[in-house]
Structure 1
Amino acid sequence: MFDIGLAVAVKYLGTGTFAPYKAKTWSYLQGAAALSPTGEVTPNYTGTMTIGYSGALGTITKLDDLLDPKFKGKIALNGDPLGSSAAMNGIFMVNKALGGSFDDVSKAVAFFKKLKDAGNFINVNPTEATIASGQTPVVIDNGYIQAGVVKQFAAAGKVWKMYTPASVGSTYNSAVSAWAPHPACARLWMEYTLGEKGADIWAQGGATPTLWVWLLKTARATSAAKGSIGTSKVVAEKATAEQTAAARAYLKTAWPAAVGTN
């Protein structure tokens, strides 16, 4: 069973890596037919990028706020953009907020260089532990991950806020391994996660399931799910596999030159 980002999914289409399978809801899933008409890979849920941060740091209203000295040694990006979909989308989000496009991420790289030069950006992969300890009190990551942190902070009597400068994200996709010893188990898992129950769990967790538009249209979305992610039918913009590949080719040298390596 695979749960993979868009760039990886597209890279291995047609290579014999995936065993095609279409869940019962396949025809209702946003982007499923466009991604893989044969059902090799199926988009499952979307993560919209955001900047999560400790409420103790005040309120972020614009990207330039991150250059403030109070953020020194505090800002982290989830992963390496050369391999992580979350990190790559974080760069796309910042780039879009700065007026850039998916075809040229140089504006984002220049901004991260400013953060690094100011001592505000740190080469640390954020985790639950680094967030809880205060090592990474500002994290650029998927919104559904941040939603979990909001709940954890609230339980501890603290506040975790989110600032989204631009609506950017991408789907995470499910596929059955072509060499799975028990592929029926994987197919059952896909039926569950791509079905109504799975979609409800994704939504309550802060992610947007690809079944969401259909659930809203047919009035089958639960109150809890709508309370978590709202009823908007707007899908975050996402880069194509080609744009992501081109960005990573540029970042291979530009990113370490700007911020160093983890």
Structure 2
Amino acid sequence: MTIRACAVVVMLASVAAACSKPPAENKPLPPVNPRAASLSAGFATMERLVETAKKEGTLTVVGLPRTWVGYGEIMDRFSDKYGIKVVSLSPEAASRQEIDLANRLRGGQAPDVFDLGMDVATANAKRFAPYRVTGWADIPDPLKDQDGRWYAAYGGYMSIGYDSRKVPAPSSFAALARPGAQVALPGDPLRMASAFSGVMAASISGGHPDAARGVDLFARLKKGGMLGTPDRATAVLDWDYMNAARAAAREGGHWRVTIPKDAVLASYYMQAINVDAPHPAAARLWEEFLLSDEGQNLFLKAYARPARMEGMEMRGGMDRDAAAKLPPASGAPVILTIPEQDAAKSYLKAHWAQTVG
């Protein structure tokens, strides 16, 4: 046989072998598992997740006010994009109340997903279903459970919002203690997380929080007649996304927002899927949406800091115009550990009422 003839035989054999095997794209996909721990394990593709979630038709959320970090627009966008009805339970519920409500409600009435402070998320991890979203690698390790039971979607830095017509820009939290100022927390620090964090931000020195130092500042403000309520205050300690929203809503541009240098207290809200979610595929699609570039940029539009912000910036997926509107911050952010939070809360419980009232 000639060399050319051999080549033809080999070529024909190769064609025959290729024709005998089904194309890889025609390989049947595994059955859908709506309670799987990842997109690839449960659905293989995003299209199959969307299809399964659409069949469920409903997503039940809890503790999400429409005015909070853009959640109104986020819920509407999710519903319009996927044709899934969003049922919102107890929008004003705090993190612990979300868990209490889930414990009372069973079956189809239970919430599918939670939005929680880290302390509540870690304490209730066993009631959450593991699920690693597609953008998992971009979420910083301190902001996620390695088993995928909870993970941050957004957060912020404690800031000072102030009326620039009445007080100069404060360079530190301690600088608020000046005659004539009216300083406020957004609520009772023994009951409200943001108010507690305001005290703790004021307690930071050299990167280290000290609850006693924070309580002492507010005791001095109280003694000097400088501690007031948010509606009458010239300065309000609150998360930067709340103070930035106040600044955007007020006419005249007199409300400014600053984050004191080297006293940057950060806090993030954790997402979690109910292990007994009545709509497990819709719950997983919701988390994929929140942690997608689209969802993260909707948080950013509402002045919250996306958990995937650094990764999005590196890949060009971040809304730079929205990011430019965030209050600038310098210095390494401090995130209180659970033991630090517990110790600080115990200190405030023992000393706040008698020193500040």
TM-score range, shorter chain: 0.7 to 0.9
2-side partners of 1:61 and 1:218: how far apart?
36
Structure 1, gaps ≥5 residues long: none
Aligned runs of 1:189-208 on 2, under 5 Å? 189-208=286-305
Aligned runs of 1:1-20 on 2, under 5 Å? 1-14=113-126, 16=127, 18-20=128-130
CA 1:230–1:221: 2 relative to 1, 3 Å: farther
CA 1:64–1:229: 2 relative to 1, 3 Å: closer
1-side partners of 2:328 and 2:240: how far apart?
16
CA 1:183–1:197: 2 relative to 1, 3 Å: same
* Runs of 4+ displaced beyond 4 Å: 230-235
- Aligned partner of 1:30 in structure 2 is 140
The DSSP-based 3-state class of the residue aligned with 1:139 is strand
- Aligned partner of 1:151 in structure 2 is 248
2:216 to 80, 94, 110: 110
State the shift of 1:230 in Å: 8.4
State the shift of 1:110 in Å: 0.6
| 1:159 maps to amino acid | H
Whether the 8 Å contact between 1:44 and 1:210 is mirrored in structure 2 is yes
- Aligned partner of 1:257 in structure 2 is 354
Q: Which TM-score applies when normalising by structure 2?
A: 0.62
Q: Is 1:94 paired with 2:202?
A: yes
Larger radius of gyration: 2
- Aligned partner of 1:214 in structure 2 is 311
Whether the 8 Å contact between 1:77 and 1:139 is mirrored in structure 2 is yes
- Aligned partner of 2:71 in structure 1 is none
Whether the 8 Å contact between 1:205 and 1:228 is mirrored in structure 2 is no
The alignment covers a number of residue pairs equal to 242
Higher relative contact order (CA 8 A, sep 6+): 1
The DSSP-based 3-state class of the residue aligned with 2:317 is coil
For the aligned residues, what is the CA RMSD? 2.4
Structure 2, gaps ≥5 residues long: 1-112
Q: Which TM-score applies when normalising by structure 1?
A: 0.83
Whether the 8 Å contact between 1:48 and 1:170 is mirrored in structure 2 is yes
Whether the 8 Å contact between 2:129 and 2:272 is mirrored in structure 1 is yes
State the shift of 1:233 in Å: 10
| 1:105 maps to amino acid | A
Q: Is 1:163 paired with 2:267?
A: no
